[in-house]
Chains A and B, each alone.
Chain A
């Protein structure tokens, strides 16, 4: 966030024609996170740019070091607030890797189904907002209608629309509701038709395509060097998806494709997200088929999972167990782990260090957005001012995740 010392050559004239200094954000509507771009223009071409982040820094990594491991969930919820369920699942998997426990099949498929719904909501928001910023308001409303259906399901399942805090170490907060499979199937079918309608609206639109095609190009080598992952890297033609390359959970049992682009421009990033939604729908369908309708959702491990409420109220052992898990926090053995999952924007990593007490020693969240945003400078240098909007939109920078 520290400003760069731009030494502009000031001429004798009262009005400086070249270079022109322009400041976009942090409260600019197109900077839909909170990012400031200081740009030095020559005519309409961006000569130099300094991208400044940090306006949404809330110190989550510091706050995580004060509570118990379970109390980290609300913070990871607020990282990528468009797909919080993926963050929940990622953090759960990291802690379970340290504890050496494996969740029940019902929980694993439930997590995959909810996680892919969250991924669809992430991509719907990104593509919708991108279309809106380029003047196409109708697809935005349609896609937000689709996202609303996902959030209704999330509300039904978790009790919250946005910040669920639904993951638990060793399971989930509650088992799927009775109507989950039907509502999810109905919603996914509806969303797919919405996506196809939006596609028909946009891909026949010359203005929309002209604003995206060949704009914001980046080579695969540059993207890899910048640490890009997720849809932005796949748009450059690199088929790296953590779900395929290093399957976690039970993703190895699923049949899905990894869509890749070829040019690495804004249009590819847009299309890759559209195609990923269709793949997510395939995964959800398979996960719902595999999801058992009965069985435990949490592991049977008294170290990490809260006892059932009737035990807490009726037996002394249950009360003590509940008290210890709540007051001391569950104990994760000393050590460190780097666990990575495919978040909405790419590889969402958690580097956790535990000292064996009930409090995390260090929680490092490896945000995919942060590195993608660091490439914005390279993407828009040499482009026109009007290209900033589609470039920034296609990177899908989520302020909460980037700044934490």
Chain B
């Protein structure tokens, strides 16, 4: 009997594994599609049936970083011959790169990417540092109405972005923070702060109080023990929280769409705005998307042990 059961179990297991492989492939194929489109020649990006095997090329990335325009007449062969290899690729695609005097004009992508980096990093640093000390405060000291305060902090994260965006837009236009890096940094800090408090409180609660008490007995002040004992213990938690905050700020779309324009626009509203000229060039969009999601993919991989905790605001620790 036992033999039969285990044999049946093994078959079941095999089937489950096969099913998982199939489902995983289905789930990941859109990602594969983005990745492969970023290396396709433009003519193969929208073919039916879809092109799976092709000679990968780097042209979409050249296009991503340069400002281009449709050719209205064929290129002069002499000009073509004299052009550097990357410019030839653009000519081959029926476009030419714009120039200011002799210099090649870059697209806005590098600038938007940089904006995303600045805004995400600074707001993460602010949200996590404030969140860490606040979490420590809530974790170690009694606070009247503590549960209510924590609920209040959480509830600020639950608001639909558009609901907050309307009054924020009106406030920002009064104080002149629209379309500024600072404006978005403040918004994202506020947005991430509640998350960082909740997540860090979980990590803080896990650090035994005895460590600090021993330090206090040894003559440390409370502040010293916080910086020298608690913070080093909490580094993993801080790192995980930072990564989550970074990803949230990095990916945010609605506020960035409404609040930014020329100066502080980040990548998420910029990539859809690339859909561009007479025809959509999906290869360029895919190239921009691919570069944009690489940091997120790397972080997700590093974070894998903390994902569960992060996505539930620290409610589930495992």
Is B a genuine binding partner of A? Answer: no
Interface residues of B, Cβ cutoff 8 Å to A: none
